[in-house]
Amino acid sequence: MDVDAAGGRVTFDVVDLLTGAEAARAAAAAGAEVPPLNDYYICNVSTRLRTLPVAASAPITVNVHAVAETGSSTENVGTTLPGSPPCRI
Each residue's pLDDT, cut to its tens digit, for the chain (89 residues) gives 777 878 888 888 888 889 999 999 999 999 999 999 989 999 888 889 999 998 878 877 666 655 666 676 666 666 665 555 444 43
Confidence at residue 81, expressed as pLDDT on a 0 to 100 scale: 58
| Residue 57 DSSP one-character state | T
The alpha carbon dihedral of 19, 22, 23, 24 has a sign of positive
The verdict on pTM exceeding 0.75 is no
Confidence at residue 29, expressed as pLDDT on a 0 to 100 scale: 93
